[in-house]
Structure 1
Amino acid sequence: MRALTEIDKINIDRQKMENIIQNNKNAIHYCVLYEFLQKKPIGQSYKTFCNTVGKGVVDFKDFKNLFDRFARGKFAIVGQTHAPEIEIQGSGSVRSLPTLPEEILVKIVEKSGLKERLTLRKVSRCFRSIVDESKLICEKIDIRFTDLSTEICIESLPMINYQQKNGGCVIDFGGNRMIMNGERHIECALRDLNTILKNPKFELRVLKTTFLLGIPFLFNGYIPTEWTPIYRFMELEDFFQRFKRRLHVKSFDIQFEIHWNDDTEPILSILPYLKPGILEKIRIKMDVDFSDQMKEVVKLEQWKQAIELDMRKTHFELSLENLTHFKRFSVFIPKITEEQVISIKETLFKSTNFESCTLNYYEDELDLDYIQSKVGPHIEDNNTGALLFKDQETKTVFEIQLGDESIDIVRKC
């Protein structure tokens, strides 16, 4: 009798595993769940299941019924409230399916999108642990704060709305409603957001935050501290501080509209807790004067290491030297001078990093003829009216377009 080869041993082990699965309804449940998470057509999923587990183990009707249950968010085994740990006998030991083998479960999680991972967290404690520790790349999180509500949009998932009503918070997600008595909407929203952000391997492309805050409501003739905007930003800062690490975010977008006179610092409640060097783009849109806050913002490493800035509709009243490290930037300068334009042109032309910028200002704020006479030797493009400059040493060509409300400077080649 010939000795068993490694291939023979693998085939025998595979047959044993197939037999175990075929005779264990819980194991079958998880195999079908795995196929569901692959997002393939049900016919294709059923074919893969039969080729892997065995033909005739589950007929198509039962397979479809499980698919339909999963689509409705019901993941527990029929007749049970929660998905159990599945015990399988093998090689004289007892192990649970979610840990047999763990590398397979890790691959399931890694191939699953955000929605599927949030679903898998509900399946078992083992899956929850794997999901919370696996690398996750998310395209966008959009958070909108108002006086009486918070809204969170994560990628293409349905919006989650947290509404303050009748002394509690009403949470609405994809038509499902939950009431949290005695809780505030921002508390509930940040608690749910923590489920994703606490993952140490979480990476986010875009974090967008919008604040639309009015005058806080009076309760029995006074305004509770927890309803003022400044308290809101203190809560946010405390939330981001809790992670004990800076978040991996590539683009940060903040829009701010407030009708309440207090020392709010919306940017400083979030920006310092994003990872410098990873953060590439900053977009700020404000309808209030926040010059004092910006004096602190420009000192941050997050600002100094970013490569793109969009403040085209927001006043920037600090020294333009705080902008010249960006590759691309667009700002609104309400008190711009001809000397500033000439000076920044000289600085940007010497930069090896600079690509383009737009300086926006009030109409007819500048004497464009004066600027044109002082910017140095150039030729004028007959078609566009742009001024073209060529560095004789580097042969680099720059273009300046002078306009009534903006000046564009671009490195051409």
Structure 2
Amino acid sequence: MEEHSKPNFSDLPLELVGKIVKETDLPGRLVLRKVSKYLRALVDKQTPRYKHIEIVVNSKCIQLDLEGILINYTNMKYDNCTVGIPGRKPKKVNRDNMDVMFDDLMTFMSNRSFYVEHLKITTTDDASYKKFIILHPKLLRSKIEVNSLWIKVNMDQELRKVSDFIDRSKVQKSECHWLEEESRWNLRECMELVVREGNNFVGEESYVISRKDDLPWMKKYGKKKKEYEESLQPSDVVKREVHVPKELYI
């Protein structure tokens, strides 16, 4: 009897393979790109236009949300990490979680035609923040196009350094959250929301003053977000209008 070999993905007609790659979601493309040089080239030819990407930067676990699919890069001992993708067995990688996350981001962000409708970035601890702002200028050499940008940083972390790889001339809406020291005993939780209107950005800036011991207490006892928001009195919130010429904002 004649022995038949098992069907192979690479044996499919080129046109059919191209259609499969085109319909594959973002995490699927990350996997396909690592299969062969041919599939890598095919994935890289696709126009990388996406609706939503969120990055939460943390030393223990970096979360990458690619259009609703959450990928976890969890740090382990000796600069190893595990990569967890829904529906797949966690994969151990002998590299730091930040390096692995950037490798995945680079598979599509390095494409000059990359575009994302909404990009959200949160940096938490100072160690991962410093590593993030050191790595992205080395890897993302060209600015990426983002329509709507949302950023959150802690005290002493700079919004501009977190978002240096973004082409701000193309941003239509920007929402930024940050902490700063109001006094020895108080912190200001600040928020600025600006929307492009012709050649200017218009919007509002607001902040609420909270005691410095509120944040550690909330972290230690797991105070619920709803309870925390209810504890803020309207009189504590100060708002002012923002009207920034495009050239100054960018």
| TM bracket (short chain) | 0.5 to 0.7
Q: Secondary structure at the match of 2:106?
A: helix
The aligned counterpart of 2:235 is 363
Are the equivalent residues in 2 in contact too, given 1:133–1:201 (CA < 8 A)?
A: no
The aligned counterpart of 1:68 is none
CA deviation map 1:355-403 (0-9, x unaligned): xxxxxxx839xxxxxxxxxxxxxxxxxxxxxxxxxxxxxxxxxxxxxxx
1:129 aligns with 2:55: no
The aligned counterpart of 2:227 is none
Tell me how far apart the structure 1 counterparts of residues 91 and 170 of structure 2 sit (CA, whole Å). 37
Are the equivalent residues in 2 in contact too, given 1:85–1:124 (CA < 8 A)?
A: no
Tell me how far apart the structure 1 counterparts of residues 241 and 150 of structure 2 sit (CA, whole Å). 23
Q: Provide closer, same or farther for how the CA distance between residues 206 and 132 of structure 1 changes in structure 2, counting only shifts above 3 A.
A: same
Which of 173, 196, 205 does residue 281 from structure 1 map onto? 173
1:165 aligns with 2:64: no
Tell me how far apart the structure 2 counterparts of residues 133 and 257 of structure 1 sit (CA, whole Å). 38
1:176 aligns with 2:51: no
Q: Provide closer, same or farther for how the CA distance between residues 205 and 126 of structure 1 changes in structure 2, counting only shifts above 3 A.
A: same
Q: Secondary structure at the match of 1:189?
A: helix
The aligned counterpart of 1:243 is 140
Are the equivalent residues in 1 in contact too, given 2:204–2:240 (CA < 8 A)?
A: no
**Structure 2: which 5+ residue stretches go unaligned?**
183-187, 193-198, 209-233, 243-250
**Structure 1: which 5+ residue stretches go unaligned?**
1-24, 26-76, 87-96, 215-227, 291-311, 317-323, 335-361, 365-403
Amino acid at match of 1:166: K
Tell me how far apart the structure 1 counterparts of residues 90 and 181 of structure 2 sit (CA, whole Å). 39
TM-score, structure 2 normalization: 0.64
Tell me how far apart the structure 2 counterparts of residues 184 and 314 of structure 1 sit (CA, whole Å). 32
Aligned pairs for 1:3-402 (under 5 A) are: 78=6, 83-85=9-11, 97-98=13-14, 109-110=21-22, 112-114=24-26, 117-118=29-30, 120-121=32-33, 125-157=37-69, 159-167=70-78, 168-174=80-86, 175-181=88-94, 183-213=95-125, 228-229=127-128, 231-235=130-134, 238-257=135-154, 264-265=157-158, 267-289=159-181, 314=190, 325-327=200-202, 329-332=203-206, 363=235
Alpha-carbon distance, 1:212 to partner? 1.7
Q: CA RMSD in A?
A: 3.8
Tell me how far apart the structure 2 counterparts of residues 119 and 363 of structure 1 sit (CA, whole Å). 51
Alpha-carbon distance, 1:143 to partner? 0.8
Are the equivalent residues in 2 in contact too, given 1:248–1:275 (CA < 8 A)?
A: yes
Amino acid at match of 1:363: S
Pairs aligned (count): 203
Alpha-carbon distance, 1:213 to partner? 1.0
Amino acid at match of 1:326: F
Q: Provide closer, same or farther for how the CA distance between residues 212 and 132 of structure 1 changes in structure 2, counting only shifts above 3 A.
A: same
- The structure, 1 or 2, with the larger RCO (C-alpha pairs under 8 Å, 6+ apart) is 2
Amino acid at match of 1:332: S
Q: Secondary structure at the match of 2:40?
A: helix
Amino acid at match of 1:325: N
Q: Secondary structure at the match of 2:103?
A: helix
Tell me how far apart the structure 1 counterparts of residues 35 and 59 of structure 2 sit (CA, whole Å). 36
Are the equivalent residues in 1 in contact too, given 2:146–2:166 (CA < 8 A)?
A: yes
Alpha-carbon distance, 1:145 to partner? 1.4
CA deviation map 1:302-339 (0-9, x unaligned): xxxxxxxxxx95177xxxxxxx9214x120278xxxxx
Q: Secondary structure at the match of 1:269?
A: helix
Q: Secondary structure at the match of 2:152?
A: strand
Are the equivalent residues in 1 in contact too, given 2:205–2:240 (CA < 8 A)?
A: no
The aligned counterpart of 1:307 is none
Alpha-carbon distance, 1:287 to partner? 1.5
Are the equivalent residues in 1 in contact too, given 2:106–2:140 (CA < 8 A)?
A: no
Q: Which has the larger radius of gyration?
A: 1
Alpha-carbon distance, 1:127 to partner? 3.6
Tell me how far apart the structure 2 counterparts of residues 229 and 122 of structure 1 sit (CA, whole Å). 26
Q: More strand by proportion, 1 or 2? A: 2
Are the equivalent residues in 1 in contact too, given 2:52–2:118 (CA < 8 A)?
A: yes
